[in-house]
Chain A
Amino acid sequence: MAESSGTDPTVDSNVVENAAKDRTMIVVTVKTPKDKEEIAILEDSSVAQFKEEISKRFNAKLDQLVLIFAGKILKDGDTLNQHGIKDGLTVHLVIKTAPKATSGSTSQNSASSSGTPQANSSSSASSPVPNASTPPGTGPAIQPPNLLSGFGDLSSLSGMGMGSANFMELQQQMQRQLMSNPEMLSQIMDNPLVQNMMSNPDLMRQMIVTNPQMQQLMERNPEISHMLNNPELMRQTMELARNPAMMQEMMRNQDRALSNLESIPGGYNALRRMYTDIQEPMFSAAREQFGNNPFSALGGNLDSGVQPSRTENREPLPNPWGPPGTAPSESRGTGSSTTTSSNGGTAPSVSSLPNPLGINASGLGNGVFSSPGMQSLMQQISENPQLMQNMLSAPYMRSMMQSLAQNPDLASQGSNPSADVSPSQQQQQLMQQMLQMFAGGAVTPEVRFQQQLDQLSAMGFLNREANLQALIATGGDINAAIERLLGSQPS
């Protein structure tokens, strides 16, 4: 037919010819995941003819093309009319890459229903050795025993638990062995195969996820799975696990950041709460928290300063907005704070609470909702909706928020950590903290820390670069920044 042999699908001669024969050209949009093209074709064409055009336009082979319209796959023998494809409509196109390779790679990476994750990871893993690095507190996960025998230098491990046909038991035995023999752990870590495997976050994650204990943990403590799903985080975690020196450094930073908390209003409370939280088992049931209305704990006010710390009295309903890290330094940018969450247990993690949204900008609720000031505000609001509207419609509100966000000093000035701060001041500060965390991306550190930078240079720290770095690392805390600067200078 004329149109399929023509080099130009929209060439005029076609149109003339068709007009003469009373046939109409329609323009159909063909959409691939990456691309979109408009193709003009005769209304009564067959799908095969359509595919010809498409293969030319998209530079693909005919048998690679899969056309979908209204949920149906268009077969070569059908006509466009038959499927109701008219002018201006969109047809979806998938260009198959070499079929077998694609399905292989997708099954490797995705958790689609085909096959178990274990089968996938074992087929894709080039080095299915026991996984010795997982978030602390969990045992290592290993591959099915028959794969272990393939690796000579780890043959000592293959002797373990081989007799057990039960995978679960095998894992447990493995764990026990590792626990009892710390040497083994470092041996495993040094193995280049292991190193190689650990640099592949996807593989790691799959291995971790397939461990049923891990799955339980993930259920209870959702941010573990969140962490697992974040490849950046995984990579950092693995870096840490590989390098014990780095891990120590991390812990030290964390501890220092913790101490900064005290200087921030509401921070003392947070520290205390955090401590009691740590007292509880690391992965205590946060599950029921999740089901509750997050505000229910607010009214009850578990942390109003009455609760003595370091006692056995545990909060019946941990405040979902409560513990760690009100300090902006915890949640802001630097990878250190996010990775320490994985070293966690003792450290406040970025999102150590059940976080239904998995929201990255964590720490939102920490100081904000649990302070007495904020709580009274919330109570007032719920009693009087008008109040909220008034608050928001006040013309200066917006500019106040912006200026608050730009002025990190507000928190460190004025009030002391103790409880007798006027509610409005506290509210302001807490709002500002919240805004700070979010607005962090919009405001450069230089601007944010302008005041601190000035102070530092007035004190005699003339290296502006270093000052800025220190301030960023400590989240604006001058004292900590000074410590940092002094620590790095030759004494």
Chain B
Amino acid sequence: MEKNETTIYSVQLYIYDLSRGMARNLSPIMLGKQLDGIWHTAIVVYGDEFFFGGVGISSCSPGGTMLGSPDTVVELGNTEVTEEIFMDYLSSLGESTYRGDKYRLFEHNCNTFTNEVAQFLTGRKIPSYITDLPSEVLSTPFGQILRPILDSIHIAPPGGNVINGRPS
């Protein structure tokens, strides 16, 4: 069997609702459309959770950030990529496109990162309702008004350790 030497690791997507249910209740009023949540996602693989925030790429034990347990867990599939290769990959990402200062709430956020990593590990993307969220919000008048304010927000759920490719 070709796979007798390769270990398979399962990859999961942890989805958190940052609004803790408020979005579901208030979004029809405030935005004029129904949003079921403000989604923050993280990738869980090799027994660790990885996510991107205002401080860069961070990791922690699964469900170990301040957000607690995820609202939803999606099985993304399996990967043959080993942890070593993955950490190399993350370091490169953390030095380039996913440095802390590259965080943009609307265009380049935790879900962007998760999507990219998911594709790297499994070839699959994350569910579209998550990646569609920014455009959903921006297409409402309220979203447009709040945009300059929201752009300055960096979401960085505490409880993780930052992965750096170089000493800071």
Contact = CB atoms under 8 A, between A and B. Distances in A.
B161 A229 contact: yes
A357 B111 CA distance: 15
Contacts of A385: 28-29
Given A106-B87, A106-B88, A435-B149, A358 B22 contact: no
A200 to B, nearest CB: 7
B87 A71 contact: no
A411 B157 CA distance: 32
A113 B59 CA distance: 10
B96 A358 contact: no
Given A110-B59, A357-B157, A439 B149 contact: yes
Nearest to B92: A33
Interface string A203-224: 0011001000000001000111
Given A106-B163, A111-B60, A359-B154, A393 B78 contact: no
Interface residues of A, number: 72
B46 A113 contact: yes
A442 interface: yes
A255 to B, nearest CB: 27
Contacts of A442: 148
B138 interface: no
B12 interface: no
B153 interface: yes
Contact of B79 (A32, A71, A218, A290): A71
A69 B79 CA distance: 9
Given A71-B123, A111-B60, A359 B161 contact: no
A102 interface: yes
A139 B118 CA distance: 41
Given A34-B96, A202-B168, A389-B29, A360 B66 contact: no
- Size bracket, chain B contacts: 35 or more
A225 B54 CA distance: 14
B84 to A, nearest CB: 6
Contact of A112 (B48, B93, B142): B48
A71 B161 contact: no
A376 to B, nearest CB: 17
A226 interface: yes
Contacts of B142: 392
Contact of B152 (A32, A398, A441): A441
Given A71-B78, A103-B87, A230-B55, A358 B155 contact: yes
B167 A360 contact: no
Contact of A70 (B84, B122, B152, B160): B122
Contact of A110 (B29, B123, B161): B161
**Of residues A32, A71, A209, A393, which shows the largest number of chain B Cβ atoms within 10 Å of its Cβ?**
A71
Nearest to A226: B158
A34 B89 CA distance: 10
B80 A96 contact: no
Secondary structure dominating the interface of B: mixed
B67 to A, nearest CB: 6
A164 B29 CA distance: 61
A381 B164 contact: no
A138 to B, nearest CB: 16
B159 to A, nearest CB: 5
B54 to A, nearest CB: 6
Contacts of B155: 357-359
Nearest to A360: B154
Contacts of B81: 68, 71, 73
A388 interface: yes
B30 interface: yes
B161 A222 contact: no
A92 B32 CA distance: 40
Nearest to A200: B167
A223 B29 contact: no
A233 to B, nearest CB: 10
A97 interface: yes
B156 A358 contact: yes
Contacts of B54: 358, 360
Given A68-B81, A71-B78, A222 B66 contact: yes
Given A68-B79, A202-B168, 16 more contacts: A34-B96, A70-B123, A73-B85, A90-B119, A92-B120, A105-B91, A111-B48, A114-B83, A229-B58, A229-B158, A229-B161, A293-B21, A294-B22, A356-B20, A360-B156, A381-B29
Interface of B: 2, 6, 11, 18, 20-22, 28-30, 32, 46-48, 53-55, 58-60, 66-67, 77-85, 87-93, 95-97, 119-123, 141-142, 145, 148-150, 152-165, 167-168
20 contacts: A68-B81, A71-B80, A106-B90, A109-B164, A113-B47, A202-B168, A226-B66, A226-B156, A228-B158, A231-B162, A293-B22, A294-B22, A357-B153, A357-B157, A358-B156, A360-B154, A388-B29, A392-B30, A392-B141, A438-B152
